[in-house]
Structure 1
Amino acid sequence: MQIFHLLRAVTVAYGLRQTEFATRNGMHTTDVRALICLLDAERAGVDATAGRLGASLGLNSAGTTAVIDRLERLGLLARVQDARDRRRVLLRVEDRARELGRASFGPLIDGTVALLADFDEQEVDAVSRFLSGVRDIMEADGARS
């Protein structure tokens, strides 16, 4: 249970950091989650569409459009035409969003990377397997709800 409680404490602390970031930058916490989803899709090489974003956030079409509109007004997101299918609109995170994120979360990211540098390969693998497993459990539990 100690590990679970530590994970919960990290989750709460990270959620508070996201809330502070959102407030400081005129966003809703859902907007921050949206940016994270879009950056994750980009890293995975997955096209980011409004439908995919809405599914990731658990929002309906109107809610997804509201998030996209807010982020676009703030200059953090752009709607761009898909070069392969002109009928499709893709979502692109703007450099301004990356700069704001790096300014706020950079020290946390750098500190985490430095902490992991002290772990050997087996330890990093164990942490990765654990976190991936918890994520999978949460996703499976959410699918049952």
Structure 2
Amino acid sequence: MRRESQESAELQIFHLLRAVTVEYGLRQAEFAARNGMHPTDVRALICLLDAERAGRDATAGMLGAQLGLNSAGTTAVIDRLERLGHIARVRDPRDRRRVLLTVEEGAKELGRAHFGPLIDGTVELLRGFGDREREAVRRFLLGVGKVLADTGDGA
């Protein structure tokens, strides 16, 4: 009997999710290498884009907390991304003492060129699902995200 058939459906799904995350990580590493970035730089860009999509201000403190970096490490990431022309530091128009981080259009275009086919293919795949199926996928991914957050240190 094959081992796969001995695993529960839940474990099979977990292993599929792991395989997808590994493959996605490889795509991120490819993108970083092709564009002279460190993998942490790509994670930083993703954090900044997520904040922008959510309408949240992106600050160095927020970025460092999301990446799990100290102040010096966060500054190094920001400096690298700014030097590459991927982000800009801008004064907060509501509080000129505060500096916000924004992703430059060129960086978004670079990301779209690399990840666009993956995004488009995934959206197309999801369009083939019914509303209830999409909601189940959404609930599952949010739940996995919470499990990851709750087990943060790999425990």
- TM-score, with normalisation over the residues of structure 2? 0.92
Structure 1 distance, partners of 2:100, 2:27, is 28
Structure 2 distance, partners of 1:61, 1:17, is 28
**How far off is 1:113 after superposition?**
0.2
Q: Which amino acid aligns with 2:24?
A: Y
Encode CA deviations 1:97-124: one digit per residue, 9 max, x unaligned.
1000000000000000000000000000
Q: Structure 2 residue aligned with 1:54, among 58, 64, 70?
A: 64
What does residue 103 of structure 1 align with? 113
What does residue 11 of structure 1 align with? 21
Please show how residues 115-130 of structure 1 align to structure 2 within 5 Å.
Answer: 115-130=125-140
Structure 1 distance, partners of 2:153, 2:118, is 31
How many residues are paired up? 145
Encode CA deviations 1:63-88: one digit per residue, 9 max, x unaligned.
00000000000000000000000000
Structure 2 distance, partners of 1:25, 1:135, is 28
**How far off is 1:143 after superposition?**
6.5
Q: Which amino acid aligns with 2:143?
A: G
4+ residue stretches of structure 1 with deviation over 6 A? none
Q: Which runs of 5+ in 1 are unaligned?
A: none
Please show how residues 19-58 of structure 1 align to structure 2 within 5 Å.
Answer: 19-58=29-68
The answer on 1:78 being equivalent to 2:92 is no
What does residue 114 of structure 1 align with? 124
The answer on 1:133 being equivalent to 2:124 is no
Q: Structure 2 residue aligned with 1:89, among 99, 114, 125?
A: 99
Structure 2 distance, partners of 1:131, 1:40, is 16
> Which structure has the bigger radius of gyration?
2
Structure 1 distance, partners of 2:34, 2:137, is 32
Q: Which runs of 5+ in 2 are unaligned?
A: 1-10
Q: Which amino acid aligns with 2:111?
A: G
**How far off is 1:144 after superposition?**
8.4
Structure 2 distance, partners of 1:104, 1:44, is 22
Q: Percent identity?
A: 74
Q: Which amino acid aligns with 1:71?
A: L
- Structural RMSD (CA): 1.0
